[in-house]
C-alpha cells in the first residue's frame, strides 16, 4: 500500500487507493468503478457481464465524446467500437456484444491490484468462468450505497478527468501545470491560448481528506450544502502581496477546510498554521505526488524535484510567512485523526 494513504485503513481507503493508484494504461478502471456504483443497488449480487456491459460502455462512450484519447495504447478494438457507436455506425447490441467479448479482458483481473498487491477488501468476486458474471460483495454494497457513495462517484470522475487530460493534451509530462481558478474552484490546464477545465478542486482534493476538514477533522461533504467545504489556502492568500516569488494559488497550497476553520469565529483567516499542520501538508503533497501525473508533475514543479527540496520549500515558506503574520494557529481537533 502507498506510504501516505491513511493511519486507519478501511474500505473507503482501499477503494480510493484503487482509484488513485491502481494501474490505468486505459480508462477501463474508472468506467468499471462507475458501473459498480450503478449496479450496487441491484438485488441480485451476481451481475452478468452482459448487464455490466451496458453502463461500462456507456460511461466510456460519454467520455470519448469529450476526450477521444482514453488510453496510452495506439489502438484498441473495444475503444474503436465505442467510437463507432458514437458515430452511429454500429448498434447498441453490437456494442454490448463487443464489450462482453473485449471490454473486460484485463480490468476485472487488475481492479483490486495496487502497487503490485491485492487490497485486503474485495468489492466483487470474479465468477465469469462459472456463472458468467461478477458477484458484488457486502463491502461493495455498504460502501457505494452508504453516506459516502455519491462523494466516491464524484472522486472517480475527478480522477478520470485528470488522467485523460494528460493523455488528451499530449504534453510532455514535465510541462503539465494544473492551475486553480479561485472564483470557480476549477482545476485547469493552459495549452497555448486555450484553457482546458479539468475538474472540481474539491473532488480532486477530497480523496486524501476522505470527507474531513484538513485542519480539525470535522466531517465535510461534497454533496450536502450545509457541510460543503471551502477550498482554502494553507498559507493565507494575503501572503502573495508580500512574497511575490511564491505562487500561493498553487495546488501545493490548497486544502479543503470546514467553514469554521476557514472563516468561523476561531478560524484561521490570515494566521499561520502550526508546524504540526505544516507536516500534515507535506504528507498530503507527497501522497498526491505518488498518485502520478498530472498532479504529480505540477507539485514537483511547484515545490521541488527531490524530497529534501520539497521539505526545504515548505520550511522556507513557513519561516518567511511567520515574519509577516507573526501568529500561529491550530484548531481544536473535532474528530479522529485520519491522515
Confidence of residue 2 (pLDDT cuts 50, 70, 90): very low
The pLDDT tens digits for 261-299 are: 999 999 999 899 999 999 999 999 998 888 765 688 889
Confidence of residue 95 (pLDDT cuts 50, 70, 90): very high
The pLDDT mean for the chain works out to 88
The pLDDT tens digits for 21-53 are: 777 667 899 999 999 999 998 767 899 999 999
Give the strand pairing for 46-48 and 328-329. Answer: unpaired
Contact 259, 230 (CB under 8 A): yes
Cα–Cα distance measured from residue 19 to residue 279, given in angstroms and rounded to the nearest whole number: 25
What is the number of other CB atoms lying within 10 angstroms of the CB of residue 238? 15
pLDDT at 171: 58
Looking at residues 109-127, what average pLDDT do you find?
91
Confidence of residue 172 (pLDDT cuts 50, 70, 90): low
Q: Which residues does 224 contact at the CB level (< 8 Å), separation at least 6?
A: none
Q: What is the pTM of this model?
A: 0.75
The pLDDT tens digits for 220-246 are: 998 888 899 999 999 998 998 889 889
Contact 125, 134 (CB under 8 A): yes
CA angle (265, 202, 52) in 5-degree steps: 145
User: Could you give phi then psi for residue 44, rounded to 5 degrees?
Assistant: -80, 120
Asked if pLDDT for residue 113 goes beyond 50, the answer is yes
Q: Cell 507536516 identifies what position?
A: 279
Identify the helix (H) or strand (E) that includes residue 232.
strand 230-233
Cα–Cα distance measured from residue 327 to residue 271, given in angstroms and rounded to the nearest whole number: 6
Confidence of residue 159 (pLDDT cuts 50, 70, 90): confident
pLDDT at 174: 53
Higher pLDDT, 85 or 71: 85
Asked if pLDDT for residue 104 goes beyond 90, the answer is yes
Which range among 19-23, 119-123, 132-136, 309-313 shows the weakest confidence by mean pLDDT? 19-23
Asked if pLDDT for residue 309 goes beyond 60, the answer is yes
CA–CA distances in Å: residue 13 to residues 29, 47, 211, 268: 16, 24, 11, 28
Q: Any idea where the domains of the chain sit in the sequence? A: 11-144, 171-329
Distance of CA 118 to the CA centre of its chain: 20
Cα–Cα distance measured from residue 245 to residue 277, given in angstroms and rounded to the nearest whole number: 23
Asked if pLDDT for residue 127 goes beyond 50, the answer is yes
Nearest Cα neighbor of 162 from 146, 147, 179 is: 179
Sign of CA dihedral 283, 287, 292, 298: negative
Which range among 29-38, 68-77, 329-338 shows the weakest confidence by mean pLDDT? 68-77
Identify the helix (H) or strand (E) that includes residue 195.
strand 194-200
Q: Which three cell numbers stand for residue 246?
A: 511564491
Q: What is the CA radius of gyration of the chain?
A: 21
Amino acid at each position: 500500500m502507498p506510504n501516505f494513504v491513511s493511519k486507519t485503513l478501511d474500505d473507503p481507503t482501499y477503494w480510493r487507493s484503487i482509484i488513485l493508484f491502481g494501474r490505468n494504461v486505459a480508462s477501463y478502471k474508472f468506467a468499471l468503478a462507475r458501473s459498480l456504483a450503478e449496479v450496487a443497488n441491484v438485488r441480485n449480487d451476481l451481475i452478468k457481464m452482459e448487464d455490466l456491459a451496458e453502463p461500462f460502455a456507456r460511461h466510456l462512450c460519454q467520455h470519448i465524446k469529450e476526450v477521444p484519447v482514453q488510453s496510452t495504447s495506439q489502438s484498441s478494438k473495444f475503444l474503436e467500437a465505442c467510437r463507432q457507436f458514437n458515430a452511429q455506425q454500429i448498434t447498441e447490441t453490437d456494442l454490448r456484444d463487443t464489450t462482453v467479448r473485449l471490454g473486460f479482458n484485463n480490468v476485472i483481473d487488475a481492479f483490486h491490484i495496487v502497487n503490485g498487491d491485492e487490497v485486503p477488501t474485495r468489492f466483487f468476486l470474479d465468477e465469469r468462468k462459472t456463472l458468467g458474471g461478477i458477484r458484488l460483495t457486502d463491502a461493495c454494497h455498504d460502501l457505494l450505497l452508504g453516506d459516502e457513495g455519491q462523494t466516491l462517484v464524484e472522486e472517480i470522475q475527478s480522477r478520470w478527468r485528470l488522467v485523460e487530460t494528460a493523455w488528451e493534451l499530449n504534453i510532455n509530462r514535465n510541462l503539465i501545470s494544473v492551475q486553480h481558478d479561485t472564483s470557480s474552484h476549477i482545476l485547469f490546464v493552459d495549452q497555448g491560448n486555450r484553457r482546458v477545465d479539468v475538474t472540481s478542486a474539491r473532488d480532486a482534493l477530497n480523496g486524501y481528506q476522505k470527507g474531513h476538514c484538513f485542519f480539525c477533522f470535522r466531517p465535510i461533504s461534497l454533496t450536502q450544502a450545509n457541510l460543503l467545504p471551502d477550498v482554502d489556502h494553507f498559507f493565507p492568500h494575503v501572503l502573495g502581496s508580500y512574497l511575490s516569488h511564491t505562487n500561493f494559488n498553487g495546488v501545493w497550497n490548497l486544502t479543503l477546510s470546514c467553514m469554521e476553520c476557514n472563516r468561523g469565529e476561531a478560524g484561521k483567516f490570515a494566521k499561520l498554521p502550526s508546524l504540526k499542520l505544516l507536516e500534515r501538508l507535506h504528507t498530503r503533497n507527497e501522497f498526491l505526488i505518488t498518485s502520478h501525473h498530472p498532479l504529480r508533475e505540477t507539485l514537483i514543479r511547484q515545490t521541488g524535484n527531490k524530497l529534501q527540496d520539497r521539505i526545504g520549500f515548505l520550511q522556507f515558506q513557513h519561516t518567511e510567512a511567520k515574519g509577516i503574520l507573526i501568529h500561529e494557529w491550530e484548531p481544536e481537533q473535532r474528530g479522529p485523526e485520519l491522515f
